[in-house]
Amino acid sequence: MSAHNDSMDVIELLGQLFFPSSCVQCRRMGKYICKDCEKTIRFFEFPLCPACGYAISPVGTHPHCQRSTSLNGLFALAHHDGAIKTLIHKAKYQDRFAMLQEGTTILAQHLPTELKTADVIIPVPLHPKRQRERGFNQSEILAKALGKELDIPTASKVLKRTRYTHAQMNLKREERLKNLDGAFELVNPDILRALAQQRGHQLRILLIDDVTTTRSTLNECAKAIKKHVRCKIYGIVLAHGK
């Protein structure tokens, strides 16, 4: 962690002492998502197929979808609306560590058991330029929080975003794919190889992001990792949808 991030931690901590948390949805004091608002979250009852986005259980891909994705499975906590959407949005501007920690706690409670024993968690990287502008990477905060929650190591420096891509939001599907093609690179494959050797089996990796719309970013990251390392990769997000 850089000194910049450390000072950020202190500011966040002070913020929590002086401005106690209140629900992002109804403003009740106590938690960022209160018990009542947590009940209104539209959770996904099943894991999703990373290729087509439809339900599948257990975690995996539909047989006919397998060839069109580099991911081995996808778990999204909830639809991208309501309290979860508000939490993700607000975490960009205030008390992000505590907010994302709360989201992660809910995520960990819903995570399919087979994913809780993964070997390593990798956050979807931001381009260094964007990370500098923003000062943080939400996915990295999520990765560390989930790692702590599940006792799984995180590797936040192995994957790099090599191209500064334009916002995906306004692009059509084909344009998004073209925009992302080759945008990620595995820069430290040896870290993953050493871990696989130490574990004595093929790695099972959780690739984490806050939101996915078309799953194309997760897929491109998985493709970049699999170019160098034989492994299984499961996408994990707080929210899926527009």
> Which spans of this chain sit near Zn ion (rule: CB under 5 A)?
23, 25-26, 28, 34, 37, 49, 51-52, 62, 65
What is the nearest approach in angstroms of Zn ion to the Cβ of residue 48?
A: 8
Helices of type H across the chain: 3-18, 35-39, 82-90, 96-110, 128-134, 138-150, 173-180, 189-199, 216-226
What is the nearest approach in angstroms of Zn ion to the Cβ of residue 26?
A: 3
Residue placing its CB nearer to Zn ion in the complex, 23 or 158: 23
As a whole number of Å, the end-to-end CA separation of the chain is 32
How far apart CA 24 and CA 21 sit, in angstroms, is 9
Residue placing its CB nearer to Zn ion in the complex, 102 or 209: 102
The contacts of residue 181 (CB under 8 Å, 6+ apart) are 220
Residue placing its CB nearer to Zn ion in the complex, 30 or 135: 30
What is the nearest approach in angstroms of Zn ion to the Cβ of residue 24?
A: 8
What is the nearest approach in angstroms of Zn ion to the Cβ of residue 215?
A: 11
Residue placing its CB nearer to Zn ion in the complex, 51 or 78: 51
Instruction: List the structure tokens of 91.
Output: 């975490």
